[in-house]
Structure 1
Amino acid sequence: MTRLLLFNKPYGVLSQFTDRGSETARATLSDYIDVPGVYPAGRLDRDSEGLLILTDDGALQARIASPRHKLPKTYLVQVEGEPDEAALEALRRGVTLKDGPTRPATARRIAPPPLWDRVPPVRYRKSVPDAWIKLTITEGRNRQVRRMTAAVDFPTLRLVRWRIGEWEIGDLGLGEWREIG
């Protein structure tokens, strides 16, 4: 039977079970999950938070991670500045990055979501406003969401993956995981 785990990855945690190549120990999945034989389906950058799916099914892992399958991934993104409709429309159409144009996305401003505190907190600057957007993409290039918001002149301050396909973080606390089946 396939094992499928949903994990709410904290900021600063690597999306792998071991840390090779660093002189100082960094937090990894093994600090939170002690389930043999499961591996992350896709990646989430060390400085991003939120939903990470782990499974022992290689075919499912490939279907979740591969851009070929166009599985939608939804992010809650705190950006520097206040995006106007033109910036959101550019994200919806797709923006051109150094590695080519992105697929169209869904993008809208949202109220600040009731999230857990981030450690360390996002730097607050009184003179620079920030805003939240909900962004759904169907590909997964390296640091894509951060590069997309920067391309429309609203750099990402905080990035939380909320949903992958049919799976959502829901009420999972920071650093918590649950098995679904």
Structure 2
Amino acid sequence: MKFYKYYLFNKPFGVLSQFSKEQHDQKSLKDYLNVPIDVYPVGRLDKDSEGLLLLTNDPSVNSKILHPSNKLPKTYWVQIEGKPDKLKLQKLKAGVKIKIDGSLYLVKALTIKILDPDPVVVPRDPPIRFRKTVPDSWIEISIDEGKNRQVRRMLAAIGYPVLRLIRISIGKLQLLDLQSGKSKEIIKSELMGSLK
């Protein structure tokens, strides 16, 4: 009988969402996690993104989270360059076209809101670039798809470059106080209850 394992990991900036390295000086999940060899990440966060990553050796979880028909929301805190305009942000709920690998896709935000005050987050290492003449702001956005760099492309489409992106939840699974670079094991009932 196979025993399934489930882990939450707070992926730091600059870490690949895989156990192998593409270049010897890159950091990968192997640098942070000591898990059974058959455990793998469910979905990805690009190297420049931070936050909640789920890992497991249970193949049923992969389809539960990633299959488009399940429409599982993923929520992000995003630091953007500039002061957000509410009307522009609402365009994301109506839908914007983004280009991925030469194809255009119409994508929408489920929810979007300006965070005021800014969320309390640990400083990024290395720090984001700071420009005295250009303000920055934080927003919270939820999507139920997971196209390559989707949130970054959506915000770029309405004129807001992303400075920092942190996934804070997948369904009802939350990052909460899990520190950057740390993981915790959870049980299947906790996981499945969070994915409904």
Alpha-carbon distance in 1 for matches of 2:156, 2:82: 11
Gaps of 5+ in 1: none
Q: How does 1:22-171 map to 2 (within 5 A)?
A: 22=23, 24-36=24-36, 37-98=38-99, 99-110=104-115, 111-171=117-177
- Per the TM alignment, residue 88 of structure 1 is displaced from its structure 2 partner at its CA by 1.4
Aligned to 2:184: 178
Give the TM-score, by structure 1 length: 0.95
- Per the TM alignment, residue 66 of structure 1 is displaced from its structure 2 partner at its CA by 2.8
**Deviation sequence 1:102-128 (CA, Å, 0-9, x none):** 034210000211111100101010100
Alpha-carbon distance in 1 for matches of 2:118, 2:68: 29
Gaps of 5+ in 2: 188-196
Alpha-carbon distance in 1 for matches of 2:126, 2:88: 28
- Per the TM alignment, residue 68 of structure 1 is displaced from its structure 2 partner at its CA by 3.1
Aligned to 2:193: none
Aligned to 1:10: 12
Aligned to 1:19: 21
**Matched residue type, 2:112:** A
- Per the TM alignment, residue 67 of structure 1 is displaced from its structure 2 partner at its CA by 2.8
8 Å Cα contact 2:109/2:142 also seen in 1? no
Q: How many residue pairs are counted as aligned between the two chains?
A: 179
8 Å Cα contact 2:109/2:141 also seen in 1? no
Give the TM-score, by structure 2 length: 0.88
Alpha-carbon distance in 2 for matches of 1:94, 1:104: 7
Alpha-carbon distance in 2 for matches of 1:127, 1:67: 41
Alpha-carbon distance in 2 for matches of 1:41, 1:171: 21
Alpha-carbon distance in 1 for matches of 2:15, 2:48: 8
**Deviation sequence 1:27-80 (CA, Å, 0-9, x none):** 000111111121100000000000000011012022212333211000000000
Measured on the aligned residues, the alpha-carbon RMSD in Å equals 1.1
Alpha-carbon distance in 1 for matches of 2:145, 2:186: 24
Q: What is the identity percentage for the equivalent residue pairs of Structure 1 and Structure 2?
A: 49
